[in-house]
Amino acid sequence: MNYYPFHIGDYLSATRHLSWEEDAAYRRLLDTYYTTEKPLPADERSVYRLVVAATESQREAVRTVLLEFFDLREDGWVNQRADAEISAMREKQEANEVRNAHERERMIRHRERRSAMFEQLRAAGVVPPWDVSTKDLQRLHEQHCNAPATHLQREHDAPATHLQREHDAPATHLQREQVVSCNAPATAIPTPTPTPTPTPTPKKEEANASVASKLPTCPVEAIISSYHEALPELPAVRMLGDPRRKAITAFWRWVLTSKRTDGAPRAQTAEHALAWIRAYFERAHDNDFLMGRTERFGAHSGWRCDFDFLLTEKGKRHVIEKTEAYA
């Protein structure tokens, strides 16, 4: 184990009577126990070597701690509290492995489903952009591949009339989708012009400040560490100025105040928010476009995803919507 929970109150109440050398001996014995995940050797001389007890006073401290906090059994010196923590860690690891296996299977099924819809759309003469969201891809598939035969026949028999009807009808998001042949270049779905964000009134600013003051303090360094651990392939964060700190704080506030599509909050505590953010960065790793695993064209040819992009609204859409992340 590279990590184990250390309950300061429990430890102090149980070891307050120990001397300095005995306290140091106990900590070294625990570190060795957790690192090897097995009982300490029954032979005391072997234990001395493991914790580097060189002097007689240090060895006496080791003997005192072994007799008080460990039980000697056939397989060596055993600490029941440490065994319980190791067992809990192994159960958690097994649960994580099962969850990760299920997630890998889900992503495989997701990619296979997208691939099948792309193939069927191309067979129908529709070539969506490669980075179309799954939601829009599904709508296109239902529109062009699940339509009644009579409707498809009418499109085939009277293409000019059909195109004229599209031209005369009000432009909607899907109607603006460019339908091209298999040999023509695919273009992205035009994005509707965003509604301008109104300037907050003083009352709204006061309300926002009141909400922010009730939220847990933003752990800027912990969020950056989660990014580095989950996405080591992307550019590292080496400078932390005020603009970047404000962006991190805004992202933290969004995680704690926004809701998923089912109406449930994304996070209500600092611990849950950090867990959500770590999962968010891990989800970004599954996005082929963000990680540069797909060929880029035009304005995107030299673009590279980074920490700042993932904090933006566009970055959140790429991660949450285009990898079927939990909303």
Distance CA 132, CA 115 (A): 12
Q: Over the stretch 46-95, which tens digit does the pLDDT of each residue have?
A: 999 999 999 999 999 999 999 999 999 999 999 999 999 999 988 888 88
- 158: pLDDT strictly greater than 80: no
Confidence grade of residue 169 (pLDDT, cut at 50, 70, 90): very low
pLDDT of amino acid 203: 61
Does residue 263 come out as left (phi exceeding 0), alpha (psi in the -120 to 50 range) or beta? left
pLDDT of amino acid 312: 94
Domain boundaries, the chain: 8-78, 98-168, 205-320
- Quote the strand ranges of the chain, DSSP E: 71-73, 76-78
**Which residues contact residue 49 at a Cβ distance below 8 angstroms, ignoring those fewer than 6 apart?**
none
**Which residues contact residue 2 at a Cβ distance below 8 angstroms, ignoring those fewer than 6 apart?**
none
Distances (CA, A) of 19 to 15, 64, 78: 9, 10, 22
Distances (CA, A) of 54 to 27, 29, 49, 70, 125: 16, 14, 8, 21, 80
Q: Over the stretch 308-320, which tens digit does the pLDDT of each residue have?
A: 999 999 998 889 8
Angle between helices 242-257 and 202-214 (to 10 degrees): 80
